[in-house]
Chains A and B, each alone.
Chain A
Amino acid sequence: MRRYLAVLAAGFTVIVSACGGGTTTAAGCTIGVSWNNYQEERWAKWDEPAIKAAITAGQAKYISNDAKSSAETQASNVDNLISQGAKVVIILAQDGTAIKPAVAKSIQNGVPVIAYDRLIEDPKALYITFDNVLVGKLEAEAVFKAKPKGNYAIIKGNKADANADFLRSGMEQVIGAAVKSGDIKIVGETYTDNWDPAKAQTNMEQILTANQNKVDAVLSENDGMAGGVIAALTAQGLAGKVPVSGQDGDKAALNRVALGTQTVDVWKDARLLGKTAGEAALQLCNNSDPSKVKSTAIFKTPGGNSLSSILLTPNPITQANLKEVLDAGWITKADLCQGVPAGKVSACG
C-alpha cells in the first residue's frame, strides 16, 4: 500500500513539475511549515494547497505541524521541523514577539525563516504578506469616493493585533486631509475585542444613537465586523445608503457587495500568498540570503527593524468588478448572487 502511494506521489510530482516549467527547483530540499491554528478554514482550504503545490512543483518536500493557537507549542514546533530535516521554515506566527527566540536560533543554524502573513520582528527573516496598510487605504478610498464629506464612524479590530493599526494608518492616508480641513468629522472610533461581529453591532448601534443617525459613512476594518455594522444600519433603514468597507472576501460579505449594502470588500487571494511563499522557500533552499529572493523590498517594521519583504497587492472588490472573484473560483454564483434581483448586478446576470 505504502509503495503504491509512493509511486502515485512520484507520478504526480512528475506531472506537476512538467507543467510548472520555468520556476526554481530545489530537488530534495525539505521545507517545513509551522501553522499557528490549522482549525481556521482559510489555512486548510486555500493557503496550504497553494504552498504545497508550489513546493512539490520545485521537487522539494513539504512537512508541517500545527501549534493549536499556543505560542509555546509553536516555538517547539519550529525546532521539531528542523530536527525533521527542514532546510527552510515558513511560520504563520501565533505571536510575532514570542516566536523570536526560536526564529533567531533557526537562522543561526543556517535555516532561513519566512514570516508568513504575520510580522516577526527579526531583521534576518523574510516577510511575505499582503500590504495591510494598503488594504486600509483601499477600504477608505472606496468609501471616500462614495462620501467625500460628512460624519465618519471607524470600527477597528482587536487592539492587541498590530494589523488593526496598520489598517487604520492606511485609512488615514486617504481621509487625513479631509479630517483636518473639517470636511470629514469622525463621530465614533472604537476597537473591537477579538474582531467580534456582535460587539461591532452593539458599538455601531451606540454610535448611531449618540449621533441621532447622522453617520454618513463607516470604515470597518474587516468583513465580519462589517456584517455587524450593516445589521445595525438595517435596523435604522440605512443599509445601502451609508457606505461600508470590509476585507477578507467572506462569502456573506461578497453577497452584501452584490446586494449593495457593503461598498467594498478588499480581497486578498490566499492562493497567491501561498504560491509566493512556496516559491520564495525554494529560492531560499538554494541561497539562504533573504535579500537575494526575487522581487523583495526593504520593509521598516514598527519595532524599528528593516527586513526583506514581499508585499502583495490586495484587490478591492466592488459591484463593478465582482466578476473577478467568480472567475477565480473563489465563490459560487449561487452564494454570490443570493437574493440579488435579476439585471441589477452584471456579475449575477
Chain B
Amino acid sequence: MGAPVPNEANAEGGSARSLLTAVRSALTPAASVLRSLEIDTRMLGMLAALIVIWVAFNVLSGGTFLSARNLWNLSVQSASIAIMATGMVLIIVSRNIDLSVGSMLGFLGYTMAMFQAVWVPQSLGLGLEQPYTWVVTVVIGIVLGAAIGGLQGFVVAYGGVPSFIVTLGGLLVWRGLLFRYQQGQTIAPLDRTFQMLGGGTVGTNVGALGEWPSWILGAVLCLGIVGTLIASRRRKRRYGFPVRPMWAELLVGAVTCGVVLGTVWVANSYPLPPAVAEQYAQEHGIPTPPGGLFIPTGVAFPVVIMLVVTLVVTFLATRRRFGRYVYAIGGNPDAAALAGINVRRTIMLTFALMGSLAAVSAAVQTARLNAAVTSLGVQNELDVISAAVIGGTSFAGGIGTVPGAILGAVVMQSLRSGMVLLLVDSPTQDIVVGIVLVAAVGLDAVFRRRVS
C-alpha cells in the first residue's frame, strides 16, 4: 500500500494526475450543476456505464439488443437477482456478508415446488390447481426463508460467529439438504397460477400486467415520485435546511418520471408473441387484422414484484428506525451500541429479511422455469453480491443504496444476456464479468479518494 513507487510509474502517475486535474477543471461547471441537483454522482456514473454497455451491444448485435423484446427479457432475467440484491445491501452495509443466498434459494424453491406439486395434491389428496395454492406456497416460502435466514442471523449476532463463516456453513448445509431430499429429481410441473409469477405464458395467460394496468402503474409511480419530492422540499424548508433551486427540482422530477414512463412504454411496445396472440384472439372472438394482431404485453410480474420489494426495502432502509440503525451500525458499530441501539437484534433482522427475499426470488425463478431443479440458485450469491457492490455498496460498511443495487443487477445481467445474444461462450462471459466487477469497484475507489 504505502510502498515507494518506482520512477517510471511515478512519471506515469504524474501524467495521469495532471490528466485528472484537467478533466476535473473541465468538468467544474458540470460539477456545480450536479451539486445543485444533489444527485449521487456515483449513480450517474453507473447510469453512464449502463448506457455505454447498451449502445455497444446494440451496435454489435445489429439493433437486436435495444429491441423492446430483448429489453423485456432483460428486465425479467434481472429481476430475481435484483430482488435479493436489495437485502444484500443492508447486510453489507452493516458490515456482514451472506454467502448462503444461492443455497437458501435452492432449498426454498425446492420446498415451495414440493408443496404445490406433491404435498398438497398427493399427500393431502386435495388435487392440483387449487385457487389458493400459489398464495399459500409463497407465504410458506417467505416465512420459512425468514426463519432460516433469522437462524443464521441469530448465530451471527448472538453467537458472535463471523457472518462469513456462518453463511459459508449455510451455503453447504442448505445445498446439502436440498441434495439429500431432492436426490437429483426435477420437481415439475408447477401450479398454473404460480407460474405467472415468473412472467411466463400458460396457454393465453401471460405473466405480465397488460397495457392499461402498466400505464396505471407508471402513473401511480410518477405521482409517488412527485409527492415525495414535494414532501421532502417542505420538510427541509420547515427545519431550515437548504433546498434545491426550483429548476433542479423540476428537472429531477421530470427525468425520473420520464424513466418510469419510458420503461412502461418499452414494456407495452413488446407485443404478445404471434402464436399466443392468435390463440388469445380466437378465445376472445377478436378478428385478426391483416399483418397480425398487436397486443401489448406490459410490465412483467417479476418486475412488478421487484418494484414492490424495492419500495418496501427502501422504505425500511430510509424511513424506519430499523434502516437508520443498520446504517448507524455499519458506520460505527461501537458508537451505535453506545447510543443504545440494539445491535444484535438489528443484525439478526437483516438476515431474516435476506432469507425472505431469497424465498421471493426462489418463487420467481422456479415459476419462470416451471420446475425446481437441484442446480437452482447455484452461484447466485456471487451475482447478488456483485450487483450490490457494482451498485456502490461498500464493504467498509455504512454506505450503499437499494436503487444502486438494482442498477448493479441490471448492469450484470445486461453484460450476460448481451454476450449470449452475440453467442460468446460461457468461460469468456465469466472473464468479462469478473474484470468488469473489479474495474467498477476499483474506479469507484480511485474517484472517491480524489473527491475526498
What is A's interface to B at a CB cutoff of 8 Å?
39-42, 44-45, 159, 188-199, 201-203, 205-206, 209-210, 213, 223-224, 227-228, 231, 234-238, 241, 250-253, 255, 338-339
Residues of B contacting A252 with CB < 8 Å? 186-189, 371
Q: Contact: A196 with B64, CB < 8 Å?
A: no
Of B218-226, B228-236, B373-381, which binds chain A?
B373-381
Q: How far is the CA of A245 from the CA of B421 in the complex (A)?
A: 22
Which residues in window 256-291 of B have CB below 8 A to A? 272-279
B201 contact from A191, A234, A250, Cβ within 8 A: A234
Q: Contact: A198 with B365, CB < 8 Å?
A: yes
Interface residues of A: mostly helix, strand, loop or mixed?
A: helix
Q: How far is the CA of A203 from the CA of B429 in the complex (A)?
A: 13
B95 interface hit (Cβ, 8 Å): no
B123 interface hit (Cβ, 8 Å): no
Q: How far is the CA of A159 from the CA of B426 in the complex (A)?
A: 9
Q: Contact: B365 with A231, CB < 8 Å?
A: no
Q: Contact: B275 with A237, CB < 8 Å?
A: yes
Best-buried of B67, B183, B184, B272 by chain A (most CB within 10 Å): B184
Residues of A contacting B202 with CB < 8 Å? 234
Which residues in window 171-189 of B have CB below 8 A to A? 179-180, 182-189
Q: Contact: A198 with B183, CB < 8 Å?
A: no
0 or 1 for each of B123-162: is its CB under 8 Å from A? (1 = yes): 0000010000000000000000000000000000000000
Best-buried of B73, B128, B187, B371 by chain A (most CB within 10 Å): B371
Q: Contact: A234 with B370, CB < 8 Å?
A: yes
What is B's interface to A at a CB cutoff of 8 Å?
61, 64, 67, 69-70, 73, 77, 128, 179-180, 182-189, 199-202, 272-279, 365, 368-371, 373, 375-376, 378, 416-417, 420-421, 423, 425-427
**Given contact pairs A209-B73, A210-B61, a sample of 4 additional A-B residue pairs in the complex whose CB atoms are under 8 Å apart:** A189-B423, A209-B67, A231-B370, A234-B201
Residues of B contacting A228 with CB < 8 Å? 369
Q: How far is the CA of A251 from the CA of B183 in the complex (A)?
A: 13
Q: Contact: A194 with B378, CB < 8 Å?
A: yes
Q: How far is the CA of A176 from the CA of B260 in the complex (A)?
A: 49
Q: How far is the CA of A234 from the CA of B276 in the complex (A)?
A: 9
Residues of A contacting B73 with CB < 8 Å? 205-206, 209
Residues of A contacting B274 with CB < 8 Å? 213, 237
A237 contact from B128, B276, B416, Cβ within 8 A: B276
8 A-B pairs, CB-CB below 8 angstroms?
A: A44-B183, A188-B423, A193-B426, A196-B375, A209-B73, A234-B201, A237-B274, A255-B188
Q: Contact: A194 with B375, CB < 8 Å?
A: yes
B141 to chain A, nearest CB (A): 18
Q: How far is the CA of A224 from the CA of B185 in the complex (A)?
A: 10
B366 to chain A, nearest CB (A): 10
